[in-house]
Structure 1
């Protein structure tokens, strides 16, 4: 595939490389040589206002990919063949799909002024996708199908790459145990609080767990291991290893023998990544130390992460990860809504808009988190299961990458978590592949 443009910019190179990776059997090439383009005998796309005699698919540039800097864009979302589109013009596909895809994939809107939520994050409800009803759709893949259809109409012999559906369940372990291994002081203070507030059931439960009469309700690791073996799943685990506990970092310290043993055991069985603490989001030194701590426990380099509380602020968070030697990140999703934050269901490289350059940080998006359904949407397990299946089927239909987030404490089956363990097992049993799945993060 040869693509002509008068202006070959970093933005255009980035988005063409993305489309090439997703659709091309061979790498797509860019040229600003009009004569060479006109004489090229193969499939080609004219991304310019120039008119050529030779057959080609014409896409008229909207202008975003020729710009530098970040400025408010005039976006009006319309529907074409019942698919949301914007940057509409006289292109054969009806809009500048390269510029529109770049806008969504680069998370352009997150660099513009916005009203952050209480954790300082960009909320889903302020996104273009939520406001225009396409958050539940991996929209860029729908656009790729439009592009394929038009190219095949002009170049029926052109061969596209065939993708495969991938499913990777992931778990954030930020509270490994509810009662155990928290020390005499922490448990003593909690005993006192429960007694003063007359929480006799909680007091009794804590006592039974600490005296070995009951299993800690957050210790669901054996059950998960059995589930993974039964359905041949290869999940990813992200461990919080903050040295100091705090309001937002409540895990057992990594120096504790029980925590070390838990992490080491999982590192033998599964891929393990870092769950950078809340504290590390504002300190690259803490981030690097936590990465080194996890590596020392697992005995292997740590290259993958997902932010605690999904605390993602562009471009700072991603720059810190790159500086710390992280090559893969799995934070791309929302806390307040389930869906496709970047409108994509496939891994993609992060583009640093402020520096106008593609980076080596590979982003693995997720589209469902159980905490979103429980705490933000206030859904029942049955309602969340319907949403989860819809998202799963969306990704499976396009042979994309499906990832979701769960927490071990959500399987405790008590309080607000009652019924979620059974819901998860039902989903795994009826909606996942029954053979060994490829792990794209390894």
Structure 2
């Protein structure tokens, strides 16, 4: 066990040390503010305070881990070998940066609590983030820093054996609507036909009738293909189904339709199924609770995972609602239009409530790429290069790569041409040594 001596054992300090030491590096960590206990410890140890006690492994602490609430923090970004970092602490420390304070700033989403301009859906945008502005959004910097910390520890304590960690993947299949034409009901179907006619979309009209009459498959019905890919993968896919009520933002399938319920149950036989919370459930815990109970009645088990519509988050309310409803995992943290690491890590972490200064049981798994973001690259070759680059960043730190694809991504729509191949690249990346 790594023992950390510090002048004050704060909730923030325990939270971030456990993420870096235990979640990323796989070692247990303990804390003490008593010098005698620290001296007597005969395993690996370090001090994290303002001044070293003697010649021990020492990292100088920034103030952020000992504060409460939000403050105006001065952040200056520096280059650090193959990456970037902030909270420079000088050369008296084993590391030139306080990686624990910098990691806390990113993990807690400190900047998302501060005043910022939201997009049309009320979301925090990638272009407003420190990582985007300073050019390190494409790297899981916290994991990179953690491995620098590990190397320094290994140098000081060469006998200590760190556990081995391997690269993994967690593919997410987002299902805002299971079908394009099927199970839409008479009124919506008639409305769709009229819209096709007035918009002169005769190809869509033709496809609609063929699907309704059962001559061809619905374009969004790609589930057989995805499940076949699941069967060949060692890693479980996560499907998130929208089962909220029809609204301006959410236009899914009526959850009372027996065939839709059968589809969800069928998918749950092979993969993990979670709730894609509707747009209005984000603001209203009662709607969220109704959707949670609805999904649990379909699955006949307690709901463990959720994702918010449009990847929208309102911190800290969104996560507090999940905690209150005992939803244990969330997969919303990411940017729909940019590839990268919104929270600076490719390792799942716990939500820290900055207002209450408490670590919660909610596990956040941030996603690193959404299919829409790849559309920015014109050619399939560029898409492959872009995808392989982000995979390589995660592999370097033996992290968990989390992509988000939609059921319609695997359709025959020319917009999504080549995306099956891109998905296969992700699945194959976990088989490579």
The question of a shared fold, defined as TM-score above 0.5 by the shorter chain, is answered with yes
Tell me, in whole angstroms, the C-alpha distance in 2 between the residues paired with 1:151 and 1:231.
36
Aligned to 2:218: 216
Tell me, in whole angstroms, the C-alpha distance in 1 between the residues paired with 2:222 and 2:187.
25
Aligned to 1:341: 342
Q: Is the aligned partner of 1:120 residue 2:122?
A: yes
RMSD: 1.8
Residues 423 and 34 of structure 1: CA distance in aligned 2, closer, same or farther (over 3 Å): closer
Tell me which of 101, 104, 117 is aligned to 1:102: 104
**Cα distance, 1:430 vs structure 2:** 4.2
Residues 422 and 49 of structure 1: CA distance in aligned 2, closer, same or farther (over 3 Å): closer
Aligned to 2:381: 382
Contact 2:24 2:347 in 1 (8 A): no
> What SS does the corresponding residue of 1:11 show, helix, strand or coil?
helix
Contact 2:169 2:402 in 1 (8 A): yes
Aligned to 2:353: 352
Contact 1:328 1:363 in 2 (8 A): yes
Contact 2:167 2:430 in 1 (8 A): no
> What SS does the corresponding residue of 1:14 show, helix, strand or coil?
helix
Residues 12 and 382 of structure 1: CA distance in aligned 2, closer, same or farther (over 3 Å): same
Matches for 1:386-405 after TM superposition, within 5 Å = 386-405=385-404
Contact 1:65 1:99 in 2 (8 A): yes
**Cα distance, 1:257 vs structure 2:** 1.1
Contact 1:137 1:339 in 2 (8 A): yes
User: Could you report, residue by residue, the CA deviation over 1:361-395 in whole angstroms, capped at 9, with x for unpaired residues?
Assistant: 01112101102223xx3644432222221111211
Tell me, in whole angstroms, the C-alpha distance in 2 between the residues paired with 1:139 and 1:226.
35
Aligned to 2:15: 14
Aligned to 1:440: none
Structure 1: which 5+ runs fail to align? 436-442
- The alignment of Structure 1 onto Structure 2 pairs a total of residues equal to 430
Aligned to 2:74: 74
Tell me, in whole angstroms, the C-alpha distance in 1 between the residues paired with 2:75 and 2:235.
41
Contact 2:12 2:104 in 1 (8 A): yes
Matches for 1:101-180 after TM superposition, within 5 Å = 101-180=103-182
- Normalised to the residue count of structure 2, the TM-score between the two structures is 0.95
Aligned to 2:41: 40
User: Could you report, residue by residue, the CA deviation over 1:326-379 in whole angstroms, capped at 9, with x for unpaired residues?
Assistant: 0111112111211111111111111001110101001112101102223xx364
**Cα distance, 1:415 vs structure 2:** 4.4
Contact 2:4 2:47 in 1 (8 A): yes
Tell me, in whole angstroms, the C-alpha distance in 2 between the residues paired with 1:266 and 1:82.
42
Q: 383-392 vs 256-265, which deviates more?
A: 383-392
Structure 2: which 5+ runs fail to align? none
Contact 1:346 1:400 in 2 (8 A): yes
**Cα distance, 1:198 vs structure 2:** 1.7
- Normalised to the residue count of structure 1, the TM-score between the two structures is 0.93
Q: 410-419 vs 93-102, which deviates more?
A: 410-419
**Cα distance, 1:229 vs structure 2:** 1.8
> What SS does the corresponding residue of 1:343 show, helix, strand or coil?
coil
Question: Structure 1 stretches (4+) deviating beyond 6 angstroms?
Answer: none
Q: Is the aligned partner of 1:433 residue 2:416?
A: no
Tell me, in whole angstroms, the C-alpha distance in 2 between the residues paired with 1:255 and 1:168.
29
**Cα distance, 1:212 vs structure 2:** 1.4
Residues 136 and 182 of structure 1: CA distance in aligned 2, closer, same or farther (over 3 Å): same
> What SS does the corresponding residue of 2:350 show, helix, strand or coil?
strand
> What SS does the corresponding residue of 2:31 show, helix, strand or coil?
strand
Tell me which of 182, 185, 195 is aligned to 2:184: 182
Contact 1:59 1:93 in 2 (8 A): yes
Tell me, in whole angstroms, the C-alpha distance in 2 between the residues paired with 1:225 and 1:240.
19
**Cα distance, 1:160 vs structure 2:** 1.9
Tell me, in whole angstroms, the C-alpha distance in 2 between the residues paired with 1:290 and 1:279.
11
Tell me, in whole angstroms, the C-alpha distance in 1 between the residues paired with 2:422 and 2:28.
43
> What SS does the corresponding residue of 2:191 show, helix, strand or coil?
helix
Contact 2:337 2:370 in 1 (8 A): no
Residues 107 and 371 of structure 1: CA distance in aligned 2, closer, same or farther (over 3 Å): same
Contact 2:304 2:329 in 1 (8 A): yes
Tell me, in whole angstroms, the C-alpha distance in 2 between the residues paired with 1:232 and 1:37.
43
Q: Is the aligned partner of 1:315 residue 2:316?
A: yes
